[in-house]
Amino acid sequence: MLAAMLEEAHVTRTIRRLAPDTASRIAAGEVIERPLSALKELVENALDAGARAIEVRVDGALDHGFQVADDGTGIAAPELELALERHATSKIGELADLDRVTTLGFRGEALPSIAAVSRLRLTSRTGESEGATFVAVEGGAVIARGAAARAAGTTVEVRDLFFNIPARRKFLGTAIGELRAAVRMVECYGLAFPEVAFRFVVDGRERIDWPAAASARDRAGAIWGVRHAAQLLEVLEERDGVRLEALLGLPEHARTTREGQVFLINRRWVQNPALGHALRQAYGNLLPTGRFPSATLWITISPDRLDVNVHPTKREVRFADDRPVYSIVKGACAVPLARLHPPFTVVPGGTPEPAWADRVRELPGQESLGLEFGRLPAPAPGAAPGQGRGAPPGAAAAGPEPEFWQLHRTYILAPVRGGLVIVDQHAAHERILYELARTRLEGSKAVAQQLMFPAVVDLTRTQFEQVLELGPWLEHLGWDLSLLGPPTVVIHGVPADSIRVDAGELLQDLLDGVSDDASRTPHDDVTEHLARSYACHAAIKAGDAMSQVEMRTLVDRLFGTSRPHGDPHGRVTFVRLELDELHRRFGRS
């Protein structure tokens, strides 16, 4: 059957001209890939017309019926039908104008394409004209025209999209998925044009109602809520003729998809993998692999350094030279991220601390930030959760002390002003040890903690060679080793901040970690891998019980590091839960 069909396809070899109707539907299919593209084109037209307010109304589903109304310049009555003709545009006159495009549209293809594959009604009125006029089109053919009533501006109604291309109808996504994508598109253009008011109504229900906003942050507040918008980090930088403005989500707002990223180039909403990559680089190891920052980037660049005519739906653009754009995004976005510090600190408690707590506090400039933990009544003696190794006997019962709670021996719950932080004990300790290791590797050599009984360890061949290679660095980290001859080493002293008991095992894990660090690239400094591996293997593990003092020290130290939000692999170290959020969930206003 299939073979017969394919064979038949080969028979019709002579070249024939497609009927104009067929040709225009094929062309339309490129511009209008899916219902969302039709809506996007119409919203772009409204913005190009200088609209101050745009309203989208959907009737059931986009492919069933929707309309876009604006209060822009309008189209003069004599030009109404011209607007529906292919390659008719008011936006460019000649090829060279493509270098100067500042409008979103320029090809004169959208209206005719939509008209070719739907039942469309275009109603418009300019500021000067007495009344409005309309033209109705079905599958590209005009079926009615005449006078209409409306204020200055344009309304385009689109019904039964793809009614005459059954093949396309079969491949449409779900109506709900398409609506969700439509809301996201309007959000993106809402961010590109904060000064424009937007409304989006589905079956009479308002999904979006944003008044004109004074700033991008205000619009972000309308979209995501004022509290979230207030936390976004701001970037403003201009160099090499590229201007960048950005609102960056905090590392803990990172997502598993790129959905949270909006790239606007000369106010055009685009996809650009290079920008996504540069943004990701700016977050560095604040994020784990597989997590994508949420951010909105506004990039302004001279139109002659940008090719907007590379994709039928104009979703992609090409820079004459990527590098200045890439470097400004990577560089400028990294600045506020590097300065991130938590808005809360931990109060040093009055209870005696274990040796371990002292040891993790030795990095200069890492005093407690004087943060205040909420105080709750002391737990009853014996009822203190997570009282483990290292806790002074009776510490938990020794009077009022900041309440900590270890959850599943993995997370530390700590009340802070305005909410709660949940810290991943392993990730947090890794961040602390990583910074400690980096400092030592860069200069201030650690003093080894001498073992009372030196440990004799048999390494593998590779591990032994690594010790030869990394010898000086290991010493900087705080190892005191002597070589007994392949494959045996003697450990005389260990880095003081490790909590691991078995020195030989720690050394072996550390060396293995350096050789199989998956994120290792040839350009990386070996000390980076050593620091990461050390942090990973010397850190407290999930499943280890901790005393309250240990927990408090850990949290305190975490927030004394330069980048407390992520471990060295970029995994999140803590999550913050706002009291407001809890109140909201429990229905307290």
For tokens 């030279």, the residue is 321
Question: Which one of residues 57, 59, 81, 90 is an interface residue with ligand ADP (CB under 6 A)?
Answer: 90
Q: Give the Cα separation of 414 and 394 in Å (integer).
A: 20
| Nearest distance from C-beta of residue 130 to ligand ADP, angstroms | 18
| Nearest distance from C-beta of residue 127 to ligand ADP, angstroms | 11
Residue 45 found at the interface with ligand ADP (CB under 6 A): yes
Residue type, 110: A
List the single partner that 154 binds among Mg ion, ligand ADP, none, CB under 5 to 8 Å by kind: ligand ADP
Question: Which one of residues 154, 285, 463, 553 is an interface residue with ligand ADP (CB under 6 A)?
Answer: 154
Stretch that binds ligand ADP, among 67-75, 165-173, 289-297, 479-487 (CB under 6 A): 67-75
Residue 105 found at the interface with Mg ion (CB under 5 A): yes
Residue 221 found at the interface with ligand ADP (CB under 6 A): no
Q: Per-residue string for binding with ligand ADP, 110-149, x by CB under 6 A?
A: xx--------------------------------------
Stretch that binds ligand ADP, among 45-53, 237-245, 273-281, 429-437 (CB under 6 A): 45-53
Residue 507 found at the interface with ligand ADP (CB under 6 A): no
Residue 110 found at the interface with Mg ion (CB under 5 A): yes
Instruction: Choose between 307 and 509: whose C-beta lies nearer to Mg ion.
Output: 307
Q: Give the Cα separation of 266 and 278 in Å (integer).
A: 18
Crossing angle of the two packed helices 322-338 and 273-283, in degrees rounded to 10: 30
Pair 246, 325: CB distance under 8 Å: no
Give the residue closest to Mg ion by C-beta: 105
Interface size with Mg ion, residues (CB under 5 A): 3
| Nearest distance from C-beta of residue 48 to ligand ADP, angstroms | 6
Instruction: Choose between 47 and 538: whose C-beta lies nearer to ligand ADP.
Output: 47
Strand order in the sheet with 480-485: 449-458, 488-494, 480-485
Bridge-partner residues for 329, per DSSP? none
Pair 265, 299: CB distance under 8 Å: yes
Residue 556 found at the interface with ligand ADP (CB under 6 A): no
3-state SS record for 422-452: EEEHHHHHHHHHHHHHHHHHCCCCCCCEEEE
Residue 55 found at the interface with ligand ADP (CB under 6 A): no
| Nearest distance from C-beta of residue 116 to Mg ion, angstroms | 15
Residue 72 found at the interface with ligand ADP (CB under 6 A): yes
Largest CA distance in the chain: 99
Pair 253, 260: CB distance under 8 Å: yes
| Nearest distance from C-beta of residue 208 to ligand ADP, angstroms | 19
* DSSP three-state, residue 413: strand
Residue 103 found at the interface with Mg ion (CB under 5 A): no
Q: Give the Cα separation of 341 and 343 in Å (integer).
A: 6
Q: Which of 100, 40, 95, 47 is nearest to 71 (CA)?
A: 47
* DSSP three-state, residue 543: coil
Residue 112 found at the interface with Mg ion (CB under 5 A): no
Name residues whose C-beta falls within 8 Å of residue 303's C-beta, 6 or more positions apart in sequence.
Answer: 99, 100, 101, 102, 266
Instruction: Choose between 46 and 117: whose C-beta lies nearer to ligand ADP.
Output: 46
Contacting positions for Mg ion (CB under 5 A)? 45, 105, 110
Chain contacts with ligand ADP (rule: CB under 6 A) = 41, 45-46, 48-49, 70, 72-75, 83, 88-91, 105-111, 154
